Homo-oligomer: A and B are copies of this chain.
Amino acid sequence: METHLARHHVVIVGGGFGGLQAALGLKRAPVDVTVLDRYNHHLFQPLLYQVATAVLSPGDISAPIRQVLRGRNTTVLLAEVQSVDLARKVVISDGGEIPYDTLVLAMGATHSYFGHPEWAEFAPGLKTIDDARDIRERVLLALEAAEREPDPERQREWLTFVIIGAGPTGVEMAGALAYMTRYSLPRDYRRVDTSQARVLLLEGLPRVLNTYPEELSAKAREDLEKLGVEVRTGAMVTGVDDRGVTVGDTRIQARTVLWGAGVAASPVARTLGVPLDKAGRVKVTPTLNVPGHEDVFVIGDLASLVQDGKPVPGIAPAAMQMGRYVAKNIRHRLAGRLLEPFRYHDKGSFAVIGRGSAIGMLYDKVRVSGRLAWGMWLGIHITFLVGFRNKVAVMLDWAYTYLTKRRDVRLITGLHANRLPRIEPERLPGVSEERVEESGAGLAH
């Protein structure tokens, strides 16, 4: 085996917004970088809801990590990290142990079902491409089932969609589903009127998008209701099963329930043996270190940091800033310099409701809503999308969707027909009742 002249070895775990920026920031540094991710692609999560609602293809919002990080000093490996041994300075993965000189943890977060893991099966959340495909398939399948369903009561259940949690993802999903059932699909179905579909958005807190000012929450709620979404705030979900949701004493029958509520940090955080916040995030120092470990950084959704009395939010721009900061910090440390603490610059954030409707905050001061906010949201998302092909593909899909109102990426790829209701032949247009009696097809079987 050849012996390498060992350079400083930086291990970055996670190829999301934070990890990618950290790796890119070290491209010309005198270090060797190893990036580990359990997926082979970087995912532009802010647009994932558009995969779940049949506007975009998964390939449009993802980029192979090893393509993005093509470069001299970076090795990319598909690996799932299970734990970190801070004392021995190794990361423990499915492929064995990997020693580091400096470690950057950027594994992000997953869903939290608030102590009800059994709800996951009935109410999928939206974090990965498989999640988005699963949700897309559930929604489309429910409409196919409604088209087959002879019983009006049960048809109603198939046409009821409940979204739990009115954060940005929940609001985006609710708006997109309402738009899709009201404007994109009605002409494609013959036996059901998809515009009669109920889309319910449930939120335990008193208002939607509670991290935004009250005025914007109110505006978002108004726009959602204009689209036909039934918004219920102060609604604490107490039960979720395969036929619906229970909210206190109220039962909502629904065959499709989606989860947009809790967030929990990657479980790897627990293996560090350091203090975590209640979402399982690592309480980092002002320089984004694990307390007592100057060689270990935690960034993005995995980091818990309070700045000026407010938590730094778990959004892409914060993760990217942290990633860039950490790369700079590593370069400076190697050069023997000290660095100022990390400062999050809140340039703004947006939540989109539907066609021509969004809300946003700029520089923590300026409030925007409606068409203006929507236009800004579009431009910003195209700008930050990774990869030229992706930018063009998404612009094309958006232009198409805007002009035609259609949603074409409507794929049910698995075989699911046998989970759908019985087809009553007498309800088919070409079939007379006599014809059914004649063939005996109307008999139970």
**Number of residues on chain A facing chain B (CB within 8 A):** 104
Interface residues of A in 1-22 (CB under 8 A from B): 1, 3-10
Is B95 in contact with A441, judged by CB distance below 8 angstroms?
Answer: no
A98 at the interface (CB under 8 A from B): yes
A335 at the interface (CB under 8 A from B): no
Write the nearest CB–CB distance from A411 to chain B, whole angstroms: 6
Is B421 in contact with A408, judged by CB distance below 8 angstroms?
Answer: no
On chain B, the residues within 8 Å of A59 by CB distance are 57, 408-409, 411
A247 at the interface (CB under 8 A from B): no
**Number of identical protomers:** 2
Is B423 in contact with A98, judged by CB distance below 8 angstroms?
Answer: yes
A148 at the interface (CB under 8 A from B): yes
On chain B, the residues within 8 Å of A190 by CB distance are 74-76
A359 at the interface (CB under 8 A from B): no
Chain A 141-158 interface mask (CB, 8 Å, partner B; 1/0):
100100110000000000
Is A424 in contact with B188, judged by CB distance below 8 angstroms?
Answer: no
Chain A 431-445 interface mask (CB, 8 Å, partner B; 1/0):
111111011110001
Known: A101-B430, A430-B6. A408 touches B64 (CB 8 A): yes
On chain B, the residues within 8 Å of A406 by CB distance are 67, 389
A295 at the interface (CB under 8 A from B): no
Interface residues of A in 56-73 (CB under 8 A from B): 57-60, 62-64, 66-67, 70, 73
Is A39 in contact with B408, judged by CB distance below 8 angstroms?
Answer: no
Interface residues of A in 68-104 (CB under 8 A from B): 70, 73-80, 88-90, 93-99, 101
Supply 7 A–B pairs (Cβ within 8 Å), ascending by A. A76-B190, A77-B423, A88-B439, A99-B439, A130-B414, A133-B413, A393-B396
